[in-house]
Structure 1
């Protein structure tokens, strides 16, 4: 069973940047990330017609954020440079999304081609706390057993609320995955992703041991985030590199 990892809420406590106290999704059995140690991370504040929800994302260009296709809404604000959603942080940049570019063959039921490029209304200002993460080329793949990591502001339990602070957990690539355009990964025991972590990056080391965003959080194969040794499924970024390059070239930079 494919369970999308977004989360919905009705009310928001107006604290700091307006995102504190929301119901959200969180890393299971992980630890709090060192503040601003993942400066490419983006928190997506998404509005649809009747709901408001959150996803993750990551900055791949001053003008573009990458996330999951199922994170599309009527409007999205991208929050960069944030660690704790409840506290004012001078590093924070809030930028509206101008264009939501979801893959043309996105399949909501099967969660196929679950990828979306967000064109920002204005360029992000690159700082120590807001940086770009590299993505793989079309030929880069990661073998079974590769140790990677994932982070998000999602739930720490299936019935819980979203985390106020960014959390992270180590996971290991599992082969084969059911779809050649997806990556399966799991942590030990209950470790892994949960609701609200959708759209965040799966980070693996490249040949120089530098972080590379190789996957996008898509779904978990179980309803319960606490199930032991479950597979979490990520959209494989390298499989869509040509699509990404083509789409980015179609939109004027600001």
Structure 2
């Protein structure tokens, strides 16, 4: 585990363990609260606009192109169509966009959200680890994408959290990205940007290695469809830097 500490008005410590968007095409419903780090970003109308994931009690990672104000973050949800006892709805206090985000090419498509207050950690709400900088995911690795996006390219959004298995590809257009393809006719497509690409590390621990970006092949139900993710490991220093700045302010 890697810890980072800083001094502000008091000494604060946090740990980042070693460590719209995209549709879940032909995926399966996730077991309720199996992925307690999942976040649903809600606009002023209360509509789901993007996914995200909790990395610390008061910080959520998502995609930069998901930016909209105001945003509230819904945690502890499985079925987003009906309120559950496990729900925690927390306003976003501050947005950290990557300064080099390109809204045309979607390079550096990453955004950190600071919540107004800490989420209450429980079985339905937990953070997920992110990888160390330069931690490499080998091509051919099977990982998972989860979200509440559309289940077909032209369909409606899913009410329940769904997931699908994808395979890491060898090459991407940009070095800062990770690319995947679905297995058979399964994959991710337009409907749930900002959500995590979840892979297991050497000790079988889940890590959020990628963020679903606003890119990919247009025909998302094609078995050869490619999905593009922002490579979280390459932005770990940036993430830690934003948290330090925010805490020192």
Fold agreement, TM-score > 0.5: yes
3-state DSSP class of the match of 1:213?
Answer: strand
* Whole-angstrom distance in 1 between the partners of 2:164 and 2:229: 15
Provide the residue aligned with 1:42 in structure 2: 39
* Whole-angstrom distance in 1 between the partners of 2:215 and 2:99: 23
Task: Write out per-residue CA displacement over residues 11-37 of structure 1, whole angstroms, 9 at most, x where no aligned residue.
Answer: xxxxxxxxxxxxxx6310100000000
Name whichever structure is richer in strand by fraction: 2
Q: Paired residue for 1:76, among 62, 66, 71?
A: 71
With normalisation by structure 1, the TM-score equals: 0.86
Matched-pair contact (CA < 8 Å) for 2:109–2:213 = yes
Between Structure 1 and Structure 2, how many residues are aligned? 229
Q: Paired residue for 1:218, among 213, 221, 237?
A: 213
Provide the residue aligned with 1:11 in structure 2: none
1:193-208 alignment runs, 5 A limit: 193-208=188-203
Q: Paired residue for 2:51, among 51, 56, 59?
A: 56
Provide the residue aligned with 1:174 in structure 2: 169
Task: Write out per-residue CA displacement over residues 118-163 of structure 1, whole angstroms, 9 at most, x where no aligned residue.
Answer: 0001111100000010000102010110110000000011111100
* Whole-angstrom distance in 2 between the partners of 1:135 and 1:46: 26
3-state DSSP class of the match of 1:95?
Answer: strand
Matched, 1:28 2:34: no
Matched-pair contact (CA < 8 Å) for 2:41–2:51 = yes
3-state DSSP class of the match of 1:252?
Answer: helix
Provide the residue aligned with 2:153 in structure 1: 158
What is the RMSD computed on CA atoms of the aligned residues? 1.7
Which sections of structure 2, spanning at least 5 residues, go unmatched? 1-19
Provide the residue aligned with 1:15 in structure 2: none
Matched-pair contact (CA < 8 Å) for 2:65–2:214 = no
Matched-pair contact (CA < 8 Å) for 1:47–1:53 = no
Q: Structure 1 residue runs of 4+, over 6 Å off?
A: none
Matched, 1:233 2:225: no
Shift of 1:86: 2.0
Matched, 1:66 2:86: no
Shift of 1:189: 2.4
3-state DSSP class of the match of 1:238?
Answer: helix
Matched-pair contact (CA < 8 Å) for 1:190–1:226 = yes
Provide the residue aligned with 2:15 in structure 1: none
